[in-house]
């Protein structure tokens, strides 16, 4: 009881000056003689000590007992505690907060928020997140719940279907804050984005030399290492310049203007390509705005090209008048403008987000999974014909071993055919359907849908997917991205010795199934412009 009262005094300590005390109380002065009772002002009347249950302990005169507050606290504890559960006495009352109670509450109250995240197939998953949870943590949670491979390329996408806009959240952004600025029709999407930090690995592919300028005089081209340092260093003054189409407010017409992106904002020149301050007009600042990709196509806004993007102020929810609709002349220019916008706005935070997964040696939370990756340099040819295995170092010997192994599997398939194996285990039947279990195979999707998926997951070199051919029902198509351009390669079936094989180069290299074909071109470029590196996947939540 003493600990309960001590906690109560601490909680009511701020109200002792104005709280009413016991009524009709008298003061006994400890003099030798009997002094007459005097009635003074209520606020100046001394307070008598009140005995407790234990005679050895007494309260201090400066901490009066507030009976009303004590009774009200007891009633609140009785209402909050379930009747079927007993009270649990706190064994450490001194650790209670000033407003806490020594009775442990059995009802756990948290300040969490409910968000719903959708996958590419339209399925949604409800996630409960705290207010300080970052976008990276939400992605790791969804990876854990969906049993996906955490390769640090998953992203949370802010999607506005009515406006036709979307953007990938930065890893350090707080999801609850972003949700507060979204409308009821907006939603979060969970998808891959391989190009999120690709500019750190290949900056020259993202920033053409003719589009990047510096305030200081430099002779010749800037080296690759210094290019990003100038963007990340707040003391430097990089500038992206070029021509963009700007949609005029309230009209469907576009105007081609010379624009300049600096740390202070995006400007356009009112007189040709002049950089003089009197000719520059501020179009948008970077601090309170975000850059979005336009997903509705060029017909809705009557855009001059397909390479649209938008600068949306953070305070704007659904007003189209405040949106700055822009259009670049090609994909490389649009990527340069959007990447420079992110770098100039967030600066060193982007580099910290990029380095954070690489420096992490252990899971950061209970729901994160270890990072697993298979490097092509770790795949070596092995010979297990003897009692112990050995690494085949001679390239010619490794190639002969691969050919011999392929012929062995082919002979095994013929032998199974001769034995009359069941249809479910028939090699030809298995080779025609085994690829449908792979994440990179997307079935009967049209050409435009494959383009859309590649663009959504980042147009980086080696991003690929396989799909059924629309022109040939027995053939397949490999869709591959190289130098921000999407190309298609037809995979034709061919029959050899009664077995169905697949080839990408008119029969020069044949494979028993599409899985072997993909694995081969992941290690060898062959007739392709680059190796297959990143599978375009769609996870189901």
Model confidence pLDDT, tens digit, residues 41-94: 444 444 454 444 444 444 445 455 555 555 665 565 555 554 444 555 556 555
pLDDT at 380: 66
Contact 351, 232 (CB under 8 A): yes
Element at 433 (helix H, strand E): none
Among the listed residues 294, 345, 285, the one whose alpha carbon sits nearest the alpha carbon of residue 315? 285
pLDDT confidence tier of residue 518, bands split at 50, 70 and 90:
very high
Gap between the Cα atoms of 206 and 209, Å rounded: 10
Q: Taking CA 201 as the corner, what is the angle to CA 200 and CA 207, rounded to the nearest 5 degrees?
A: 65
Gap between the Cα atoms of 495 and 514, Å rounded: 15
Gap between the Cα atoms of 291 and 340, Å rounded: 10
pLDDT at 223: 64
Q: Are strands 463-468 and 534-535 parallel, antiparallel or unpaired?
A: parallel
Q: What percent of the chain has pLDDT over 90?
A: 40
Q: Which residue has the higher pLDDT, 505 or 49?
A: 505
pLDDT at 90: 59
pLDDT at 148: 82
State pLDDT tens for residues 295-348. Answer: 988 888 889 999 999 999 988 776 777 899 999 999 999 999 999 999 999 999
Q: Are strands 476-482 and 485-496 parallel, antiparallel or unpaired?
A: antiparallel
Residue 165 confidence (pLDDT) above 90: yes
Gap between the Cα atoms of 177 and 180, Å rounded: 5
Q: What is the mean pLDDT of residues 150-173?
A: 92
Backbone angles phi, psi at 302, to 5 degrees: 55, 45
pLDDT at 36: 45
Computed over every residue of the chain, the mean pLDDT equals 76
Residue 285 confidence (pLDDT) above 60: yes
Place of tokens 């920033």: 207
pLDDT at 320: 76
Contact 512, 535 (CB under 8 A): no
Tokens of 30: 């400890």
Q: How many residues does the chain have?
A: 541
State pLDDT tens for residues 344-400. Answer: 999 999 999 998 876 654 444 434 433 333 344 446 677 777 666 777 777 777 777
Gap between the Cα atoms of 407 and 170, Å rounded: 49
Lowest mean per-residue pLDDT among 23-37, 82-96, 249-263, 424-438 = 23-37
Tokens of 112: 């969490």
Task: Name the 3-class secondary structure at 442.
Answer: coil
Residue 266 confidence (pLDDT) above 80: yes
């Amino acid at each position: 009881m003493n600990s309960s009262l001590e906690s109560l005094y601490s909680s009511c300590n701020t109200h002792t000056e104005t709280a009413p005390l016991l009524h009709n109380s008298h003061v006994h002065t400890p003099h030798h003689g009997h002094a007459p009772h005097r009635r003074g002002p209520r606020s100046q009347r001394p307070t008598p000590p009140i005995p407790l249950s234990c005679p050895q302990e007494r309260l201090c005169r400066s901490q009066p007992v507030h009976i009303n507050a004590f009774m009200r606290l007891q009633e609140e504890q009785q209402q909050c505690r379930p009747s079927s559960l007993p009270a649990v006495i706190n064994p450490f009352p001194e650790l209670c907060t000033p407003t806490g109670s020594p009775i442990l509450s059995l009802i756990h109250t948290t300040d969490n928020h409910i968000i719903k995240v959708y996958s590419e197939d339209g399925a949604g998953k409800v996630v409960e997140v705290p207010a300080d949870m970052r976008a990276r943590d939400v992605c790791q949670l969804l990876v854990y719940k969906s049993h996906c491979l955490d390769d640090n390329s998953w992203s949370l996408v802010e999607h506005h279907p009515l406006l036709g806009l979307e953007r990938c959240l930065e890893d350090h952004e707080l999801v609850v804050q972003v949700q507060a600025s979204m409308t009821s029709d907006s939603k979060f999407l969970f998808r891959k984005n391989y190009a999120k930090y690709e500019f750190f690995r290949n900056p020259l592919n993202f920033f053409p030399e003719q589009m990047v300028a510096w305030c200081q005089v430099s002779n010749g081209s800037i080296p690759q290492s210094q290019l990003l340092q100038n963007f990340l260093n707040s003391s430097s003054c990089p500038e992206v310049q070029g021509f963009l189409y700007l949609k005029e407010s309230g009209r469907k017409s576009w105007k081609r203007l010379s624009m300049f992106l600096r740390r202070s904002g995006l400007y356009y020149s009112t007189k040709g390509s002049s950089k003089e301050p009197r000719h520059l007009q501020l179009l948008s600042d970077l601090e309170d705005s975000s850059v979005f990709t336009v997903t509705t196509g060029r017909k809705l806004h009557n855009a001059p090209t397909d390479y649209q993007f938008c600068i949306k102020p953070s305070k704007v929810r659904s007003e189209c008048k405040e949106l700055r609709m822009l259009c670049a002349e090609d994909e490389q220019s649009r990527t340069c403008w959007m990447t420079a916008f992110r770098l100039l706005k967030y600066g060193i935070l982007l580099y910290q987000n990029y380095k954070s997964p690489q420096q992490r040696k252990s899971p950061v939370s209970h729901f994160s999974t270890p990072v697993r990756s298979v490097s092509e340099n770790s795949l070596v040819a092995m010979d297990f014909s003897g009692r112990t295995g050995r690494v085949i170092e001679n390239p010619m010997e490794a190639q002969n071993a691969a050919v011999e192994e392929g012929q062995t599997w082919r002979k095994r398939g013929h032998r199974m055919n001769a034995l009359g194996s069941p249809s479910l285990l028939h090699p030809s039947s298995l080779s025609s359907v085994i690829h449908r279990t792979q994440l990179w195979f997307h079935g009967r999707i049209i050409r435009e849908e494959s383009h859309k998926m590649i663009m959504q997951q980042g147009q980086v070199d080696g991003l690929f997917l396989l799909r059924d051919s629309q022109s040939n029902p027995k053939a397949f198509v490999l869709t591959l991205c190289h130098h921000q351009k999407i190309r298609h390669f037809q995979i034709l079936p061919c029959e050899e010795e009664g077995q169905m094989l697949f080839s990408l180069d008119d029969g020069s290299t044949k494979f028993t199934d599409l899985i072997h074909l993909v694995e081969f071109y992941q290690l060898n470029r062959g007739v392709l412009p680059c190796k297959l590196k990143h599978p375009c996947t769609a996870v189901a939540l």
